[in-house]
Amino acid sequence: MTKSTIEHPKVVSRDEWLGARKALLAKEKELTRYRDTVNAERRRLPMVKLEKEYVFDAPEGQRTLAKLFEGRRQLLVQHFMFGPGWEQGCPSCSFMADHTDGMNVHLAHRDVTVVAVSRAPLAEIEKFKKRMGWQFKWVSSFGSDFNHDFHVSFTPEEQAKGQVYYNYGMQPFESEELPGISVFYKDDAGNVFHTYSTYRRGVEVMMGTYNLLDLAPKGRQEDWEEPPGRSDGPLMHWVRHHDKY
């Protein structure tokens, strides 16, 4: 972060501050209403029935995607970047996951189960999970098409082409694993439907820390923030595993 992007706000009188704050409040209310509109459109997004049965390795044994709902109707999957043979999970995905345990009890009471899914074998997941002190459900899709079908893992053939399908379009290959969130619904008959997936900055919905940083004068302290709207700067370059700060 360069010094020029961290500028202290000017000092003004209380009356001048109040006028500026009210002007910003009007924009915040407009943003809130627009977000409510987009959220409503998301809830009305059509669903796709899954015909393929995905099987995962869990601590209690193999589990199908339908079993991961744990009796609830809605399932939220964090596509956690942790490939086979990796020493540890992605720092940014770990930052996301740090928020999960505190939310889980509340989400469960709104009929939502949260599960992290990675391609790393279960033993590698369990070792890293223990190190990080997490309690949420985390399963392995090793040997399954799940990550590839939801476009967060890429085969050697795809990588060799230099272009992969991610975030609903073709783009240059950057990593064998990339982040995402996918949402599923299960009906009374046990049918599972894919309702939504988001990638790139869409995964910020899991990062409550970012919401608080956005309230602070220095913001996230990431280069892309200034000038506003620029998205080509480094994201999350400061994030570490919480045991490495």
Is residue 89 pLDDT above 50, yes or no?
Answer: yes
E-strand ranges in 73-146 read 74-79, 112-118, 137-140
pLDDT for 5? 52
Task: Name the CATH superfamily, with its identifier, for domain 48-206.
Answer: Glutaredoxin (3.40.30.10)
d(CA 18, CA 12): 10
Q: Residue 228: what pLDDT?
A: 65
CA–CA distance, 237 with 130 (Å, rounded to integer): 25
- Beta-bridge partners for 231: none
Please choose, from the candidates 27, 45, 181, the residue with its C-alpha nearest in 3D space to the C-alpha of residue 103.
181
List 139's β-bridge partners, or say none: 117
pLDDT at 225: 82
Q: Where residue 177 falls among pLDDT bands split at 50, 70, 90? A: very high
Q: Average of pLDDT values for 61-86?
A: 97
- Please give the mean pLDDT across all residues of the chain: 93
Burial of 223 (0-12, 13-18, 19+ CB in 10 A): middle
pLDDT in tens, 12-68: 999 999 999 999 999 999 999 999 999 999 999 999 999 999 999 999 999 999 999
Sorting pLDDT into bands at 50, 70 and 90, what band is 6?
low
Q: Domain limits of the chain? A: 48-206
DSSP structure class, residue 64 = E
Quick one: pLDDT at residue 2? Answer: 43
Task: Specify whether the backbone of 219 is left (phi greater than 0), alpha (psi in -120 to 50) or beta.
Answer: left
Contact between residue 149 and residue 52 where contact means Cβ atoms under 8 Å apart: yes
Structure pTM? 0.92
| 189-224 pLDDT, tens digit each | 999 999 999 999 999 999 999 999 999 999 998 888
